Amino acid sequence: MIGDRPLALVLVEMILLVLVGPLVTGTIQKMKARLQCRQGAGVFQPYRDLAKLFRKGTVQADTTSGFFWSIPVLVLAATVAAGALVPVIRAGPPAFPLGDAVMLLGLLALARFLTAVGALDAGGAFGGMGASREMTIAPLVEPVLMMVVFSTAVAAGTTELGALAAHRGTSWFLAWRAADFLGFAAMLVLLPAETGRIPVDNPDTHLELTMLHEGMLLEHSGPGFGCMALASHTRQIVTLSLVSALFFPIGPAGGAAGLLLGAGAFAVKILVLATFLALVESSYAKLRLFRVPQYLGVGFVCALTALALRIL
């Protein structure tokens, strides 16, 4: 299926995602702070942190191999490339085929794999602990995510995200069926796991008992850490965009007005999902690691039921 989303628009959307990513993190942090009756840092704090990191020097562990230096580069590249695969402000497949939902999940998995490999390089127990836990949760999240994608792909006959979004059309809210509700519920269960937030992971702590993702970043410093942090922000917004592309896309709309409308709608959708994440983070405690599979099991059941409803 050849689409009409020019390559330039795809690249602009990708850059937009990278630029807005830290803002989403800042917004969630601000909302969390307000919910906890704190003033909190400004929503632009992640940008300041990034700017600081990219200006700092580095301290590298003496046991690391040559791979360690290039890990942040590859992780950032893979995550940003995943950002090129989600439709942001306009639905429809790109004019030249790039990748589909499976490719997007594959690129995110590549970034995760490389992060885990990098964590083992420094030879500290914290990195290994983080890598081990992350690589325990990831294989459990991936099949459920894949099933959620399939539950919408079965209806559209394609796994290309732009085409999936276009298939739903502009009046998606009238056409939602039980399968969509269940699929969306599964996605909401997965969202904290995929973005590394409570109740699966805690992004605010560096305490070895509670952390997953942050543990893997401990040995990175300076610009390398900046790259990893930017990749985390990008990963979060890419995941949120994936949810919106699958469940409430803005349909194809031409012209500058359509693009503006799409951008506005995108902002609203991301804000809604970010609010959800902030609310969940503020109202739940982190789960024990070995409770997480049960938690993800809820998502699995929802996704399987959604698929069954779609296929039967």
| Residue type at position 146 | M
Residue 67 CA: distances (Å) to CA of 88, 112, 123, 218: 33, 15, 13, 16
User: In 10 A of CB 55, how many CB atoms?
Assistant: 10
Return the residue of 40, 223, 251, 258 that touches another protein, per CB under 8 A: 223
| CB-CB contact of 245 with 266 (8 Å) | no
Minimum Å gap between C-beta 169 and another protein is 14
- Complex with another protein: residue 65 or 171, whichever CB lies closer: 65
Q: Which is nearer to another protein, 57 or 255 (CB)?
A: 57
Cβ of 38: how many Cβ atoms within 10 Å? 10
Query: Residue for token digits 């942190």?
Result: 49
Nearer to another protein (CB atom), residue 157 or residue 264: 157
How many Cβ atoms sit within 10 Å of the Cβ of residue 98?
18
- The answer to whether residue 246 forms part of the interface with another protein (CB under 8 A) is no
Which one of 43, 188, 259, 289 is in contact with another protein (CB under 8 A)? 289
Q: Minimum CB separation from another protein for residue 31, in Å?
A: 28
Spatial separation of the C-alpha atoms in residues 192 and 190, rounded to whole Å: 6
Choose which of 37, 39, 57, 257 interacts with another protein (CB under 8 A). Answer: 57
Axis-axis angle for helices 255-283, 222-247 (nearest 10): 110
Partners of 5 in beta bridges:
94
Please report how close the Cβ of residue 170 comes to another protein at its closest, in angstroms.
19
Name which position in 224, 249, 262, 299 contacts another protein (CB under 8 A).
224
210 binds another protein (CB under 8 A): no
3-state secondary structure of 4: coil
Interaction with another protein in 156-195: which residues (CB under 8 A)? 156-160, 163
d(CA 119, CA 129): 9
| Contact set for another protein, span 70-99 (CB under 8 A) | 70, 72-74, 76-78, 80-81, 84, 93, 96-99
CA distance 108 to 193: 13
Total number of residues binding another protein (CB under 8 A)? 92
Tell me the closest approach of the beta carbon of residue 306 to another protein, in angstroms: 11
Interaction between residue 227 and another protein (CB under 8 A): yes
* Subset of 96-135 contacting another protein (CB under 8 A): 96-100, 102-103, 106-107, 109-110, 112-113, 116-117, 119-125, 127-129, 131-133, 135
Q: Does 307 bind another protein (CB under 8 A)?
A: yes
DSSP sequence for 76-110: HHHHHHHHTTS-SSS-S-BSS----HHHHHHHHHH
- Closer residue to another protein in complex, CB, 3/262: 3
Residue 266 and residue 237 in contact, taking contact as beta carbons nearer than 8 Å = no
Out of 60, 205, 210, 282, name the contact with another protein by CB under 8 A.
Answer: 60
Q: Which is nearer to another protein, 30 or 220 (CB)?
A: 220
Applying CB under 8 A, among 263, 298, 301, 304 the residue interacting with another protein is 304
Query: Which is nearer to another protein, 33 or 138 (by Cβ)?
Result: 138
**Using alpha carbons only, what angle is made at residue 155 by residues 150 and 156, rounded to the nearest 5 degrees?**
90
